[in-house]
Amino acid sequence: MDEKDRILLHLLEENCRTPVSELAVLAEMSEQDVKDRIGRLEVAGAIRRYGAVVDWERAGDGNVAAVLELKVSPERDFGYDRIAERITRFPQVRSLRLMTGAYDLQILVTGPSMHEIARFVSEQIAPMDRIRETATHIIMKTYKENGTTFAEREEVERLPYSF
């Protein structure tokens, strides 16, 4: 992967609906080169899928989101991979990451209510082999998601002028 590929990936990550003609101008390439590179990046798995950043609060979705942190005992020869693979199978799981710090895994989950998320954690996640501890944090409001700002102010706050 070269610098032109990285430029295309950043442009597509910012807005995957940018027309090829505009991508070509922004990346200083021909349209055919852009199409060829995108095709290769898709086949190589660098581009996993295309999607939209949705403000579910504005869309009227009643779901609740939470971040779960898990302390996990890694498995000999497999580390965290097997437990992570099991966790990804749950439809409530939106993302799963291996992290540094006090907890090993971080999960973003959604559900119809806080009660359902609590039930999911207590009945599905916490009892799993190798899970030593869980911490659940309910997301109260999203201000920015995947580079997209959600909270827009009506009036720009002016900072005081000083020397």
- Which residue matches tokens 């090829």? 20
Q: Which fold has domain 3-44?
A: Arc Repressor Mutant, subunit A (1.10.10)
* β-sheet with 93-98: strand ranges across: 93-98, 105-111, 64-72, 131-139
Residues 6+ apart with CB under 8 A from 110: 63, 64, 65, 66, 92, 94, 117
All structural domains of the chain with their residue ranges: 3-44, 59-142
Tell me what pLDDT residue 158 has: 64
User: What is the architecture, at CATH level 2, of domain 59-142?
Assistant: 2-Layer Sandwich (3.30)
Tell me what pLDDT residue 154 has: 60
Tell me what pLDDT residue 3 has: 93
Over its length of 163 residues, how does the chain's per-residue pLDDT go in tens digits? Answer: 899 999 999 999 989 999 999 999 999 999 999 999 999 999 999 999 998 888 877 788 778 999 999 999 999 999 999 999 999 999 999 999 999 999 999 999 999 999 999 999 999 999 999 999 999 999 998 898 888 888 766 666 666 666 5
Tell me what pLDDT residue 43 has: 96
14/8 Cα distance (integer angstroms) = 10
Tell me what pLDDT residue 52 has: 86
Q: Yes or no: say if 68 and 124 are a contact pair by the CB < 8 Å rule.
A: no
83/129 Cα distance (integer angstroms) = 8
